[in-house]
Amino acid sequence: MASDSNQGPPNNPNADYGSPPTNPYGGPQNPYSNPENPYNNPFNESYGQAGPGFPPPTGSPLPLGEAVRQLPAQWIRVLTHPGAAALAEESGKASWDITWIQLIITAVITAIFSLLVSLEGFSTMTLPTSGSSGSNAAIVQAARSITAGFSFASIILVPLFFFIGMGIYYGLAKAFGGQGRFMTQCYTFLLFGVPLGIVASVLSLIPIAGSFIGIAIGIYEIVLDVFAIMAVHRLSGGKATAAVLIPIGVLFLLACAFVVVIVAIAVSAASQIH
């Protein structure tokens, strides 16, 4: 009787090849991944080829009370550590409720200080002495009422103009390939816009020096605008700068054209008088 070792191979023709090898590439590849697309993972360090590699946002949207409590620390951080990295990290806490809270703070502060500045101007204004004191007082009172109306109208105008400006920035950032959300952009801009606006409003009460300091604050805010566009939309510095400076340049040209028209009208009117 033949031993078991002399038995022929089993009838399975694949027995000599053993079990099939495991997939050396691991699990199935994600059909949506594209390693050549830098926008596939906006927080990938490889994105640094098209722009700086920013850290991912930290945290998530907070309850409104906690978000308000953390606001001062966030303001201080983004102002004392200017750059796209700090703004990118803080953008993870973006939500509409805390965005509106910051907008309301800005609008109220703007209304109060614009009223104070106008009242200070009226207190130093010299009225003509030809009229009666009663008529002069009536003029001052009417002017104060009009100014107060314009000041408190800023409670509506500040959010209106803010969203118009954010819409322009958002459209330009998207045209340059930006990937951020509109709400995140609004929230991130307010993290430095609100404290800088408060400082500028306080300094506006200083007659001459306040104006020069206000100009410096405005320039610094433009720089932070560029960082915010870079952080929110993951754009390079050049594209973010273009997105910020294009509307500013257009406004400057429109202002120059307006001044030229006014001067031309004044010169024409003066020539007709003579």
What's residue 144's pLDDT?
Answer: 60
Closest among 90, 82, 96, 107 to 194, alpha carbons compared: 107
For residues 59-94, one letter each, b for 16 or more C-beta atoms within 10 angstroms of the residue's C-beta and e for the rest, the string is eebeeeeebeebbeebbebbbeeeebbbbbbbbebb
Both tokens of residue 151? 């000041």
pTM of the model: 0.69
Domain boundaries, the chain: 62-107+156-262
3-state secondary structure 149-192: HHHHHHHHHHHHHHHHHHHHHHHHHHHCCCCCCHHHHHHHHHHH
Confidence (pLDDT) at 240: 94
- Rg over CA atoms, the chain: 31
Q: Other C-beta atoms within 10 Å of 143: how many?
A: 14
- What tens digit of pLDDT does each residue of 172-225 get? 999 999 989 999 999 999 999 999 999 988 887 787 777 788 899 999 999 999
Residue numbers of the chain with a pLDDT score lower than 50 = 1-5, 8, 14, 27-51, 122, 125-127, 129, 131
According to the model, what pLDDT value does residue 60 have? 82
Q: Which residues contact 190 (CB under 8 A, 6 or more apart)?
A: 99, 102, 103, 106
